[in-house]
Structure 1
Amino acid sequence: MQAKHYQVKQRLAEMIDNGELRIGERMPSELVMAKEFGVSRETFRSAVRALEQEGRLLIKHGVGTFVIQPLPLIPSSLEKLSSIGSMIQAARLDEGEERIRLKTERCAPEAAQVLGIQPDDPVITLERFRSANGEPVAYSINVIPRQIAGDRFDNGQFEGSLLEFFENQLGRKIVTADSEISVPLHIDRNCQRLLLHPQTTVLLLKQTHYDEVNQPVLYSLDYLRNDVFTFRIRRTI
C-alpha cells in the first residue's frame, strides 16, 4: 500500500493537471487542505515538499504555497554545436538575456592557455544570464582575445548569438568546440546564481571554440540548470 503522503502528492498533481488548482493560484492553508484530505498536517506537508522538489509548487514562507508551471526540459545532443539561445528557441520557449558585464581586461591563465595567448594579454569578457519564459536558466562567461574582437565591442552593446556574431561581424565561423562537463561546487558563486528551486542542480560546460582553420577564438564557461537542460551523446563500439 502506498504511503499516505505519496497518495496526497498524486492527488494534488491530478488537481493541478485537471485545473482544479490553477497555475499561479495560491493553495488554501495547510490546515484546510490537510483536513480536506483527511491526513495530518505533517503528511500533507511532506506531499507539498515532494511537489516543490519536482518544480510544481513554490513555497513562500509567510506568504503561502503557489502552483507554478515547471519549465520543460531542453534536450540537446553533445555531438551538435548549438548556442544556448538556439536550444531555448528549439524548445519553443521565449528566450531572454540580461548582460551582467562587458569589458576589456587581462586574460586569466586558464583562458590564456586554451586560447594560445599570453596571460595578461587583453581580452573581451562578456557575462550574461539567459532566460526561458522569463526564468534564468543559464549563466555564461565568454572570453574573446582582443586581437580577434578588435573594436567590435567598444560601443558596449551586445546581445544575441555569439556564434552568429563571430561569423557575421568578425568573419570567423566557429565550427568546432571542445567541451568539458563538470559539476561545479555549490560554493561557486556563478553556480549559486542559478539555484532558484530546491530541485535545481547545475552543470558547467568549459568550452574552447575553434574557427574553420582550427584556431581557438572563444573560451566559455556555461553554467546550465540541469533541471532544465539535458545533454545526450550516442556511443558506439
Structure 2
Amino acid sequence: MGRRETALQAAHSRLRELIGSEFRVGDKLPNERDLADRLEVSRATVREVLGQLAGEGVVTRTWGIGTFVHDGVERVPVSIGDVTALRDRITASGHRPTLQDAAVSRAKCPPGCAEVLGVEPDSPVWRVDRLFAVDGVPAAWIRDHLPLRFDGRDLDPSGLLSIDLDMFEFLASATGMPVRRAEIELVAVLADEEATARLDVPLGHPLVTATQIGYGAGDVALFHGHFTVRTDVLTLRISRGGQPEPAR
C-alpha cells in the first residue's frame, strides 16, 4: 500500500471520527480549508475524503452551499420528466406517501402568477397549500394558484385536501382539459423561517425550490405553482428527450 493511500485512509478515519463526535445530523461542516487545518492534511486530500464520505452516505454535498451531515435516510427518487402524481411516484418507489397538512383558500393573485393565468394582479384566485410526507417525514411543500373559474366553469379544489386526488386529476376533471405540458424552473436555496416550520428542517438547510406552470391544449395556463423539496428525502431526476414535465 502506497503512502498516499495510507494518508487518505488515515484522513478518512479521522474525519469520520470528527463528524461522529462534534456534529449532529443536518449540521454543516467547516469549509475545506478549516478541515484541512484541523486534520493537518492538504485541501485536496480533504476534498477527496469528503467525496468518499458522500459516496458512503455519511455526508451530502451541495455545490455552492456546503457539506452537511447526512441522516442515513433513504432518498426517494422522483422523476420530473413525466406528468405523474407525486403520490404515485412515491408509492412506486416502495414508500408511503401521506398528506400531512392541506388548505384551500381564496387569496390575492401574486403579480407573476396573475400574468400567467391571465387575470389582474391582486384579483381573487384559489390557493392550495399541501405538505407531503414520505414514510412520515415532511418532504415537499407545494403551493398552487388556480383561477376561480375556467372556460365558464366554477372550480372547486376542495378535493385536493385529500391525497386521493392530485392536481393533474383534478384539473382534467374540473376543466375538461388535462395538463399536457409544464414548465419548471429549479433553484437551490437555504431554508428560511417559513420552510423551517413547514418541512421541519433547521434554518439554512439546503432545499430545492421550483416554480411550475401547467398548460393544457393550445398552451392555456391551468395553474401556477411553487414547491419546495427536501432533497435529503426526495431525489429529483430530470429525464431529457421530450418536453420536461413535473411530478406533482
TM range (shorter): 0.5 to 0.7
- Partner residue, 1:175: 180
- Structure 2 contact 108–124 (Cα < 8 Å) conserved: yes
What is the CA-CA distance between 1:162 and the residue it aligns to?
0.7
Q: Distance in 2 between matches of 1:172 and 1:46?
A: 52
RMSD: 3.4
Pick from 112, 116, 119 the counterpart of residue 117 of structure 1: 119
Pick from 235, 238, 241 the counterpart of residue 232 of structure 1: 238
How does 1:51-130 map onto structure 2 within 5 Å? Answer: 52=25, 70-76=73-79, 78-130=80-132
Q: Secondary structure at the match of 2:218?
A: coil
Q: Distance in 1 between matches of 2:141 and 2:225?
A: 10
Where in structure 1 are there 5+ consecutive unaligned residues? 10-43, 58-67
Q: Secondary structure at the match of 1:184?
A: strand
Matched, 1:144 2:121: no
What is the CA-CA distance between 1:150 and the residue it aligns to?
1.6
- The number of residues matched between the two structures is 191
- Structure 1 contact 186–192 (Cα < 8 Å) conserved: no
Paired amino acid for 2:172? E
What is the CA-CA distance between 1:3 and the residue it aligns to?
3.0
Q: Distance in 2 between matches of 1:48 and 1:199?
A: 22
- Structure 2 contact 181–215 (Cα < 8 Å) conserved: yes
Pick from 170, 195, 198 the counterpart of residue 193 of structure 1: 198
Paired amino acid for 1:179? I
Structure 1 residues 162 and 86, CA gap change in structure 2 (3 angstroms): same
What is the CA-CA distance between 1:167 and the residue it aligns to?
1.2
- Structure 1 contact 5–46 (Cα < 8 Å) conserved: no
The structure whose RCO (Cα within 8 Å, separation 6+) is larger is: 2
- Partner residue, 2:20: 47
Q: Distance in 2 between matches of 1:202 and 1:158?
A: 25
Structure 1 residues 48 and 94, CA gap change in structure 2 (3 angstroms): farther
Q: Secondary structure at the match of 2:25?
A: helix
Query: Taking structure 2 as the reference length, what is the TM-score of the superposition?
Result: 0.64
What is the CA-CA distance between 1:134 and the residue it aligns to?
0.8
Q: Secondary structure at the match of 2:189?
A: coil
Q: Distance in 1 between matches of 2:203 and 2:109?
A: 35
- Structure 2 contact 102–161 (Cα < 8 Å) conserved: no
Structure 1 residues 156 and 95, CA gap change in structure 2 (3 angstroms): closer
Structure 1 residues 194 and 230, CA gap change in structure 2 (3 angstroms): same
Identical pairs, percent? 18
What is the CA-CA distance between 1:121 and the residue it aligns to?
2.1
- Partner residue, 1:153: 157
Where is the helix percentage greater, Structure 1 or Structure 2? 2
Q: Secondary structure at the match of 2:157?
A: coil
Paired amino acid for 1:229? T
- Structure 1 contact 102–125 (Cα < 8 Å) conserved: yes
What is the CA-CA distance between 1:110 and the residue it aligns to?
1.5
